Amino acid sequence: MASITIDGYKTECNCAHCGRPLKLGVVTAERGTIGADCMVKLVAKNKARFSGNGKPSAEGVKQLAIIATKGIDYASRMYGYSARHFVFEAA
């Protein structure tokens, strides 16, 4: 299955998915730099992982991008996140 991995963030860029200008773009290995809203559109529903509609929120994706930039050691120490928290199944 295809996946989307959050690697970090980039400021003042354009979305590789829809082309609009972004203040904060989510850097992914598979899709380039995309907006958080587009990232949510590209992620498959997973009711076991996310409550509500089964997808992460755009704000949650932005926060994960900021945390990913600081490194997996920081994410583990401060939030208890592992590398799997930054990988999403593509729709």
pLDDT in tens, the chain (91 residues): 699 999 999 999 999 999 999 999 999 989 999 999 999 999 999 998 888 889 999 999 999 999 999 999 999 999 999 999 999 999 8
Q: How many domains does the chain have?
A: 1
How distant, in Å, are the alpha carbons of 53, 61, 74 from that of 83? Answer: 23, 14, 11
Q: What distance in Å separates the CA atoms of residue 52 and residue 69, rounded to the nearest whole number?
A: 27
Q: What distance in Å separates the CA atoms of residue 52 and residue 46, rounded to the nearest whole number?
A: 10
Angle, vertex CA 69, rays to CA 65 and CA 71, nearest 5: 120
- Domain span at 79: 3-89
- Region for 74 from its dihedrals, namely left if φ exceeds 0, alpha if ψ lies in -120 to 50, beta otherwise: alpha
The model's pTM: 0.90
